[in-house]
Structure formats: C-alpha cells, structure tokens
Amino acid sequence: MSKVTTQREGNVLVVTLDNPPVNAFSTEVRNAMADAVGEVAADDTVEAVVIRAEGRMFSGGADITEFGSAPVHPTLPELIDAIEDLDKPVVIALNGTALGGGCEIALGCNYRIAVPGAKIGLPEVKIGILPGAGGTQRLPRVVGVEEALPIIVTGNPVSAQKAEEIGLVDRIVAPEALREEAIAFAREVAGRAEHPVSSRRTDRIEGSDPAVFDQFRARHARRLQGLDAPAKCIEAVELATRLPYDEGIAKEREFFMELVNGDQSKALRHVFFAERQAGKIDGLPKDVQPLPVRKVGIIGAGTMGGGIAMNFLTAGYDVVMVERQQDALDRGTAIMRKNYEATARKGRMTGEQVEAAMGRLTPVLDMQALADCDLVIEAVFELMEIKKDVFGQLDTICKPEAILASNTSYLDVNAIAACTSRPEQVLGLHFFSPANIMRLLEVVRGDKTSPQVLATAMDLARKIGKVAVVSGVCHGFIGNRMLGARQDQANALLMEGALPAQVDQVLLDFGFPMGPFQMADLAGLDIGWDPDKTSSSTVREVLCEQGRRGQKTGGGFYDYGEDRQRTPSEAANAVIRDFAARSGNEQRDITDDEIRERLLYPMVNEGALILEEGIAQRAGDIDTVWVNGYGWPPHTGGPMFWADTIGLDKVLAGLERHAERMPDVKISQLLRDKAASGGRFNG
C-alpha cells in the first residue's frame, strides 16, 4: 500500500500521508508526495489541494535515520518548494503533532488548519541541527521574529491555540470534522485571486529590531553554552531579517549540512534512538503481554516515596501510600500537595487536575491496605535487613499475582526476592530523586523476575512518562556503579593535590551541571554517616563532625552564602590538605586533562565491564542512564558514545598511563578487544 494516496473530491485533490508510526518524510514518502504534486500541476480540473495524514499525529518530520547519508532527491526543501510553487491553493490539515519537517511542510502551504490537540513545532535543535527545510526563513515571515525565535531555539512546540494566536494556524476545527472542513476550506479559497505564500511575505519581519537577537542570546546564555545548534538557529533567523529569502535559504542549508555532519548532532541523534531502544528487552518472547495494573501501593511517604507516588497519581492510577507514623504520613502528603500546587502555579496543571490527582491517593498507616494492590513499591530505608523484613510482610499481605518492587539504589534484588514465596514477581524499580521530575527509571531484573513482570514494568514506565533502562543485579546497578568508579578517582585526586573546586570545574567545563563535590554537598555529606560511630577516618567524616554537612548547613566541601552560591572553603581545604599530607601520596599540581581522564575513563571502563557481565543489554542503555539520570551532557552522547567518538584506543591508553595511580581499576577485556580492533561500543 502506498504511503501517499490521492483522492478526488470534486475540484479538490486530497493527498493523504500514511507512514506509521510517526508519518516521517522518508525518501519513499517524499517521492510519492512529489508524484502527487505533479498530479496536481498536470490536472487543470484540480482547483485546490488538501494535504492530510492518517494516524495519531500529522508527522514527526524528516526521517532521522536517513541523516548522515548523501541527500536523496527530491529533498524535503525541494518538495516543499514544489508545493509552494503550485498555482493552486494548498490547505494542510493537521490532525495532531506536526514537528520539524511536518511543520515546515505546513509552512510551505497557503493555509493551515488544525485540531485543538495539535502541537506544532521545530524540535530540530534537540537533535543538534536547525530546521533545514525552510523553517528558519519561513517561520519568522509567518509569525514574526519574537515568536519564531523561542520555537526554533528551544525546540518546544506550541499548542494549536497559541499557533492560531500567532498566525501559524488559520483555523481550529474538531478532529472528527477535520477532513471535511479542510475540503470546504479549500473550495472556499479556490476562487481567490491571491493566496498567502510564506517565503514571499515580508510584513512580519520588516523593521525587526536587530537588538532582539543579542537580547535573546543573553537571556538564554546558559542553555546555549557550548552548543553549536542553538547558536546557528539564532543566526539563521537573524539572516531571515537581513537577506532576501533565497540567500537566507542558502545559508540555512549550509548551516544544516555543517550541523548534521558534526559530532554534537551525531551524539544527540544517538541519544534520541538509544532512549527508544532502551525500552526494548532482548530475548523477551513477542507474545508476552503486560499484566493489568490499576492500583499501586507505595511504602514510605518520604521524599522518595512521595515523588514515586506522584508519578502514578498524575498518570491516573489509584495509589495507597503507607507510613508508620501519622505525622510522617501527613508531612509526606502535604509536600505532595505543595509540589502539585507549584506545578499548577506554573500553568502546567489545572486546579482540577491537582484535586483529581490528590483524590486518587489513599494515605494509610496499615500495611494491610496493600492487599489488593497490583504493584507495590517499597521506598524505605536503604538497609538490607529492613528491606527483607518489608518484603517478607508484603508476601503475606499482597494478593498472589501482585508485583513487588524495591526502590533500592544499590542492594541485591535477588536476596530481597528470596525473602518471598514469589521471586518471579519481584524486581527493582530504581527511581531517581526528585522522583516526580527525573525521567530515568532503572528497572532491575532479578535472576528469577518473570518476562511478564519485566514487560509490565517497562509498559508502566512508559505510561508514567519515564525513560526506562533494564539493568541486571550488581552493586549500584548501571548508574551508581559507574558513579562509584568516578567518585573513587575524585577522592583519590584530592589526596594527590587537587582541590574540590578544580575537580568540579573540569566536569563543569565538560558540560555536567555540577561536579562530584558540589553534588555531595547538595545531597548532604551525612547520608549514611552515623554520629555515634564516627571516627574521623575520612575527609567526609571529619567535615560532618565539624558540622559541615553540605549546603543545608551552609558548608561542606564548599562554603555557601545566603543565596546558596558556593565559594571554596578554607576550612574544608585545610581538612583535605591534612588528610592528603598523611596519605603518603606525593602532592603535585594536577592538570585538568589528567583530572578529566581520571574521572571519565574509569567510568567508561566500568561501563565496559557492565556490558561484559551482561548487566546492561547494550551500550546505548548505559548512555541513556547517564544522560537522563546523572547530567551527562547529551551533546556528547553519554559515556560510551563519547568514548566511541574520541576513540577506544585513546581511552585504553589513558587508563594504562594512569594505571599506577588507579590500582583498583581493573581494565575490561571488552574495552581491550575493541580498542585493538578499532571497534566501538555503539554499533
């Protein structure tokens, strides 16, 4: 069946796109669309055209899998020009999301109508490119520079209502009437002598204030730092206001080719596909159906339990939340409400939605209330004895088919499962804090976890908007195990002469939002610290003993002012120097290059071990964990993709060069083999 079909409706030709799942403009689709345009041009009896689509959206844009190969004609810009050049009016009917090339094709049509739920945007910047089919030149001509800039530079789509307000959409119509309304609209305009043509318009860009661009750059400086694509997006829009359309388009093409072949876009495209691939479980029988889940139990109303509960409440699940003390339960519930209300104040939820979500919550003190839950997630203290006790109880309380999950971030899920009579129903669901915001979910597959339980967890993750990655059982799973490898080196570097500010700065320069010591101060240095057992045996212990427990106490590795701005701390540095002097290490000046290599290469090596041991299914899963859970800069693609980009031989050579100072780092055989053969972790 052709991916583009045409149908006559009197004097109107209806062109329908049908290329599931997202109606991407693949070569095949572009060719078929070009044929349809040819049909329109050749047939004098066609007086107007409707372009529409089948499926749950209009289009996700160009086919990203084709990027990186030589362009095939007709290219998307050529196709859109051909549509715009028709001497008959073209109405596009947007039945849902229209992104990237999907939006650009709409800009090339004379008239645009959309359903109320449509989202229209140019997200190209998120995959490291700019709209390359006229978007940077046509959009400002249609909506003006001030509206076009945020759409192109942030990549966030606008609603149909906003699109109508700014002139991007002419009419909004009910979904069930879309096709007929589009045809009626086409007939209505067929007789007009003139039609709006985006590329020829100048009314919205004439007299644009050139200062707008620098102001925009200044306002978004942090978001733009170190990134190639947003800078080019702004430059292209600026050129739209200064150059004739044809010259502007030529520059857009030049920028597009430069970006699409650059490392940043390759990395961001890898992240895009890796996130989607992560949801697929190798070796899972195709006919496995997820179990029905309607009611979810959460044990613990602390920060973690509350955050986890919010995910399910927001997605429409009933939630039973258990605590041991009434005041803790009340506190947890109140914080959840406060968080929801803050979201509503930002306009991202209505008051009614807040009430509906809170209305689905049943806070209780009695574990027996979990008896009819389909899934129970435990978020209690991270201690094996406590977890075992909780799972033993759950096993007796919960219905036999219920799934029992632990939110542990380090512990052995197999040992936890062994405390129940249903280890096949047990798995880890490792949420990241704040759990209602962070996108990552590590789904920890125990040795006995059944395929159906695993499939259910992956399905649920998608329904609550998480990016899920499957991990096998090991200490710290994928993310924290690699974090441990990095932290060991960060601590060792302090003992060799570096200070927290230098170590952190290296990672900030690399693109992380914060370094390891900033992160420790933010989380609190007293996590896992016991004031009764403290013995001044580590820098961290001494800092805690001195009351320097991180940001919350005004000091940790750094000093913090009222505004929580960090400054290097003489007191903390003195503690470090004292320990360093006693460590037996030679104190030396350490270069930033060494710090970067010492922090990141052991992580790559740990990732390779994780792959070798089968803990992660694929390198892209590891990248997905680090980009979504730990702030790894997406434009470098994650640790494994970054290692592929710089060369695995270079990583190996670095590990060997620093081997003497990193006696605990055991170099992965997989890394050695791939380095020797010129291979990569990601295909």
> In angstroms, rounded to a whole number, what is the distance separating the alpha carbons of residues 658 and 3?
56
- Smallest gap from residue 228 Cβ to ligand 3H9 (A): 16
**76 counts as binding ligand 3H9 under rule CB under 6 A:** yes
Q: How many residues bind ligand 3H9 (CB under 6 A)?
A: 24
Question: Whose Cβ is closer to ligand 3H9: residue 19's or residue 489's?
Answer: 19
Instruction: Name the one residue in this structure whose structure tokens are 């109405």.
Output: 91
Q: Tokens standing for 497?
A: 């002469």
Q: How far is CA 519 from CA 320, 513, 528, in A?
A: 32, 9, 15
CB of 80 to ligand 3H9, least distance (A): 9
Spatial CB neighbours of 377, under 8 Å, sequence gap ≥ 6? 296, 297, 298, 299, 308, 405, 406, 407, 429
Shortest reach from residue 119's CB to ligand 3H9, in Å? 8
Determine which residue in the list 192, 219, 223, 276 makes contact with ligand 3H9, applying CB under 6 A.
276
Q: Would you count residue 164 as binding ligand 3H9 (CB under 6 A)?
A: no
Q: Could you tell me where the beta strands, DSSP code E, fall in 300-439?
A: 318-322, 361-364, 375-378, 403-406, 426-431
- For residue 15, the cross-strand partners are 6, 51
Nearest CA to 50 out of 629, 58, 42 is that of 58
Q: Closer CB to ligand 3H9, residue 137 or residue 456?
A: 137
61 forms part of the interface with ligand 3H9 (CB under 6 A):
yes
H/E segment holding residue 91: strand 90-94
In this complex, which beta carbon is closest to ligand 3H9, that of residue 97 or of residue 241?
A: 97
Q: What angle do CA 55, 58, 63 make, to 5 degrees?
A: 100
Closer to ligand 3H9 at the Cβ: 252 or 521?
Answer: 252
The distance of closest approach from Cβ of residue 316 to ligand 3H9 in the complex, given in angstroms and rounded to an integer, is 17
Q: How far is the CB of 132 from ligand 3H9 (least distance, A)?
A: 3
Residue with tokens 């010129």: 678
Q: Which of 74, 108, 128, 132 binds ligand 3H9 (CB under 6 A)?
A: 132
DSSP label at residue 279: T
The smaller minimum CB distance to ligand 3H9, of residues 51 and 599, is found at 51
Q: Does 123 bind ligand 3H9 (CB under 6 A)?
A: yes
Question: Please, is 26 exposed, middle or buried when counting C-beta atoms within 10 Å of its C-beta (0-12, 13-18, 19+)?
Answer: middle
* CA gap 119, 159 in Å, rounded: 5
Does 281 sit near ligand 3H9 (CB under 6 A)?
Answer: no
104 is catalytic: yes
| 575: helix, strand or coil | helix
Q: Is 60 in the site for ligand 3H9 (CB under 6 A)?
A: yes
Using CB under 6 A as the binding rule, whether residue 121 contacts ligand 3H9 is answered as no
Piece of 20-28, 216-224, 236-244, 358-366 that binds ligand 3H9 (CB under 6 A) = 20-28
Contact flag: residue 99 with ligand 3H9 (CB under 6 A): yes
Work out whether 131 is an interface residue with ligand 3H9 (CB under 6 A).
yes
User: Which of 5, 9, 22, 303 contacts ligand 3H9 by CB under 6 A?
Assistant: 22
Residue 151 contacts ligand 3H9 per CB under 6 A: no
Only one of the segments 17-25, 88-96, 106-114, 607-615 lies at the binding site for ligand 3H9 (rule: CB under 6 A); that segment is 17-25
Q: Residue 277 corresponds to which amino acid?
A: Q
Active-site hit among 47, 84, 124, 275: 124
Q: Is 355 a catalytic residue?
A: no
64 counts as binding ligand 3H9 under rule CB under 6 A = yes
Residue with Cβ nearer ligand 3H9 (280 or 338): 280
CB of 274 to ligand 3H9, least distance (A): 10
The answer to whether the CB of 428 falls within 8 A of the CB of 405 is yes
DSSP codes of every residue in 36-75: HHHHHHH-TT--EEEEEE-SSSSB--B-GGGTTSPP-SSP
What is the residue whose two structure tokens read 């350490």?
A: 590
Q: Which is nearer to ligand 3H9, 100 or 428 (CB)?
A: 100
Helix residue ranges per DSSP H, 466-515: 477-496, 500-510
Residue 265 CB burial class (10 angstroms; 0-12, 13-18, ≥19): buried
Q: Give me the residues that bind ligand 3H9 (CB under 6 A), please.
A: 21-22, 24, 60-65, 76, 97, 99-101, 104, 123-124, 127, 131-133, 135, 273, 276
The residues assigned a catalytic role are: 104, 124
